[in-house]
Every structure is written in structure tokens, then in C-alpha cells.
Structure 1
Amino acid sequence: MQQAASRITFFGTPVDLLDREQTLARAQQAMDSGQPLRHTALNVAKLIKLEGDELLAEDVRGSDLVGIDGMGIVLGLKLFGVDKAERVAGVDLFLDVLALCARTGRRPYILGARQDVLERAMAEAMQRNPGLEFAGARNGYYGPDDVPQIVADIRVSGADCLFVAMPTPRKERFLNAHARDLGVPFIMGVGGSVDVLAGHVSRAPRWMQRNGLEWFHRMVKEPRKMFWRYASTNAAYAWLLLKTKLSGRNPLERY
């Protein structure tokens, strides 16, 4: 398993302190060398879920690269003296890697999302990136009996990178179980990024992105789905930071 030299742990969870350019460079290095690299994104909701889900924690610890995709994580790290922490939004990295594939002749594969959303996203990606060619795609609606064939299809596709567009913890479970059998150099969970690319879900205005308020935009747009998630996990995270700070305990560990 590859590990970045700038890896630390935060409340026992690995975090790689890389900026957007450095993360993209690691993806390109993996595709150029053929040495597997699995990327996962960490935000507040996932960090809180890890506390009560040992299987998910194992899935995240099994990733080669754990990027910061949430201003809450950035602010928490800064609270304990990590000044170089930078958020790399998953959707931005997803779009960056697609553009990289178009420039270098690499072929991506997408697994997940609804079929209609998947088709619109691929069409939009090819329109934005002339010359982009997909190795394949498969929607996310399948059962356990379909998994061996899906794994085989991805392996024989010759894909240079794989984007898994499924929610947590489903994508982490799939990748931890099958990543080594896929034969794909760069693998990344992208969650709802395919929906954004397809135009199925709107992204927050740029000023909200810059100020780490994309979570608020999503909550306003999808209150039934997102309100309780953000209210509960943000409150739990704030309490975790407060009690840790007051206790004088250091939640950081450097490799």
C-alpha cells in the first residue's frame, strides 16, 4: 500500500496533507507507473461514522491516500496546530482526473449512479474534454450475485482509473473487498460527483465553495435528506473537538 510522506492521523484516522495539485500528481503517477493507488475522501460525516463502524474504519485505513474533503476537517486540524491542511473537494478532483485522462490518453471507468444520470455525466465529460474515451461504465443498481461479473468486466476493460459513484459506506465496502482484483491503477470513490457532472444535482456557488459552505447549500437544497445528517454529525464533531481541546489531549499522530 502506498502512503504519502505527509500522512498523519486525526482521531485515529489517516489523513494525507496534500493540496489539489499534489493529489492530482499522485493520481497521474499511479496511472503512469501502473502501481495501484486507492483514494478516499474524508469529511466530518464520515469521520463521525467511523467512531461507531469498525468495518468502515478498516475500509478507510486500507486506502493509500485519504484526502480532506470538508472544511470541518481543515478547521479541526488547524485547531490542533496543523496549518498546512487544505481541502480538496472530491468533485474537483474527479473533474481534474477526467481532464488529465483526456490529455494523456488514459481511459476511465465509472461504477455507480442511475443509468440515465451516468449516461448524461459521460456525455458531459466528453463534451468538456475532447478526445476523452471511457473504458466502460456500469450503473450502481445491482445485487450481490452481480459483483463477480462487475469485477471481471472492470478488470478486462483495461481502465486506467475507476470512479466509484456510490454512497458511504457502500463504496468503501466494495473497494476494500475488491480493489486488488480490479487491475486498475488509480481508484477513487466519488459519491455524488457524477450527479453534479450530469447536472442532476446543482453545486454551490463559488463563494460558498471557497468558504466551505457547500454542506449548507446541500442542506438547503435537500432538507429532508441532508438536515439531520449535518445537524447530528456537525454537533457530534463540535463536541468531540471541544472535549478533546479542554482535556489537553492531542488527537494527532505523525507517521
Structure 2
Amino acid sequence: MSNTIEMFGITIHKFSMSESIDVLQEWLQFGDNSCKYVVTPNVDHIVQLEKNPAFKQAYANAALTVADGKPVVLASKLLGKPLPETVPGSDLVPNIFTRFQQSNLPLRVYLLGAMPGVGEIAAANIKAQWPVVEVVGILSPDFGFEKDSAYCDRICQAIADANADLLIIGLGAPKQEIWVNKYASRLPVKVALCVGATIDFLAGNKPRAPMWMRKFGLEWMHRMCSEPKRLVKRYMVDAVIYPKLFIREWLKK
């Protein structure tokens, strides 16, 4: 039986959170430094993938794709190819750390993204909660850095010099996915996770939605209310386009 489904023009792995952690732990313990990168599609990703070829190519080259948003999981069930559950990047990272802490295995991590100073707070929180996890590098790149190839070369070299196992990329979509796809061959890490605001969450810089909101798929509402200027327009557009994309998938079925 295949462990993937095809939906919205992308391949998604039918893994639960626990199964995803199993795969990532194996790669991190026994894999080579070939930069297997992970993407986590939500509604906004699905909408952006329609109009951004570079984003879609980054998805095509990802080693692991697990559904972030509950609407994506719901769509899979309605289309008769159910995904087991959501695997949000913001939960995936602390779950990996917990698995390595429970196994008493060392893990070297590089934090790329978030605003200046946030990575340092996140690193201190990581050290306090998961002592086996060592943050070996922190970088908050300048705005628009992805357009400067020389700057990107220096970032790749800094990550290489840090000898990290795991690269956590918190640059926002689609920038983080497009960037890691472009530079993966220059990044000698075992795994890279494209996980948006996760560094901010680890730092406590942005509050996570209450557990009941996450359980009912309402984390988007909490985030929208927390950052209305940035997110209201995005979510309004997504709310119009995503149902149309679902109907298209339904008609294909």
C-alpha cells in the first residue's frame, strides 16, 4: 500500500505525528548530510502553489510532505484518501526534541530565521527544556537576503561550519521552501524543516493558540487575531480560493 496520496497537485505522505518523528529520527541518526528537507502544506500553501512554479518545484523535491492544516486533512477524507492527522511544523519540532531527549541522544541544531534576538531566546529555552539538544548556530538574515547570492553563499558556509544535524528554517512560505530547494546541495545537514513561525514559538515571542483551538482547527483564527495587519487579507483570499480548488479536486474524483 502506498504511503502517499496525490492531492492539489502535490504528493503528501500519510504519516501521523509519531510516524513522522520515526522517519526523521532515523534520518537524523543514520542518514548522510544530503539535506532531506520537509514541507508542511496548509491552506495558504495550497493556494500559493497554484500560482508559484518555484514553490511547486520546491514541493516536488521535498523528502517529506506532511499536512499542517486541518482543512487539508478534511479534504483528504472527503476525497476518499484520508490522511491520519495534521502534523504541524510548530508541533513537529518540539516533538523531535522530546524524542531525542527521551532517547538521550545528542542533536545539533541550527536556527535560521525570525527577527534579531529571537533565535537566542529560543536557544536558551531549548537548552532548558531539552538538554541533549545543542543549538550550534543562529542567524537572522537581512530582509531580502534571498536575492543576494553572495549573502546566501555565506549563510550556507556558516551552516556548514556549524556541523549541524538539523536545520530549522523559519523564514515563512514560500521563501523558506524555495530557498532550501535552491541551496540544498550546499547545506551539509541531515534534515531541514521548513516550519514558519516555529522559532518565534520556541522563544515565546508569539503565543500559540490554546489547545482547544488547535484541536478544532482554529489556530488560524488565533494567529489572524494576533497579527491582523499581516494575515487578515491572506486568510480572506485563502477562504475564497481554497474551496474552488477543493471543488476542482472533487470533480477530478
CA distance in 2, matches of 1:150, 1:243: 40
Contact 1:112–1:141 (CA<8 Å) still a contact in 2? no
Q: What residue is the counterpart of 1:89 in the other structure?
A: 88
- Name which of structure 1's ranges 141-150 and 37-46 shifts more when overlaid on structure 2: 141-150
Contact 1:110-1:136 within 8 A present in 2 as well: yes
> CA offsets per residue over residues 58-79 of structure 1, 9 Å max, x none?
0111101011000110011111
Q: Residue 189 of structure 1 is aligned with which of 188, 194, 210?
A: 194
SS at match of 2:38: strand
* % identity of equivalent residues: 28
Residue 202 of structure 1 corresponds to which residue in structure 2?
207
Q: Which region of structure 1 is more displaced relative to structure 2, 128-137 or 213-222? A: 128-137
Structure 1 residues 77 and 22: CA distance shift in structure 2, 3 A: same
Q: TM-score, normalised by structure 2?
A: 0.91
Determine the C-alpha separation between the residues in 2 that align with 1:94 and 1:244. Answer: 31
Residue 215 of structure 1 corresponds to 220
Code of the residue aligned with 1:219 in structure 2: it is: M
User: Which residue matches 1:253?
Assistant: none
Aligned-pair distance for 1:150? 1.3
CA displacement at 1:104 relative to structure 2? 0.8
1:109 alignment counterpart: 110
Match of 2:166 among 145, 161, 166: 161
Shift of 1:168: 1.1
CA distance in structure 2 between the partners assigned to 1:106 and 1:243 by the alignment? 43
| CA-to-aligned-CA distance 1:130-156 (integer Å, 9 cap, x gap) | 243122121132632321121112112
Q: For residues 142 and 31 of structure 2, what CA distance do their matches in structure 1 show?
A: 29
Separation (CA, whole Å) in 1 of partners of 2:187 and 2:2: 26
1:104 and 1:10 map into 2 onto residues whose CA distance is 36
How far does the alpha carbon of each residue in 1:168-197 deviate from its partner, in whole angstroms, 9 at most, with x for none?
121112101111221111111111011111
2:14 equivalent to 1:13: no
Structure 1 segment 1-255 matched on structure 2, within 5 A = 5-35=2-32, 36=34, 37-102=36-101, 103-141=104-142, 143=145, 144=148, 145-245=150-250, 247=251, 249-250=252-253
Matches of 1:154 and 1:239 in 2, distance apart? Answer: 41
Unpaired runs of 5+ residues, structure 2, are: none
Find the residue that maps to 1:108 and give its secondary structure: strand
What TM-score do the two structures reach when normalised by structure 1? 0.91
What is the root-mean-square deviation of aligned Cα atoms in Å? 1.7
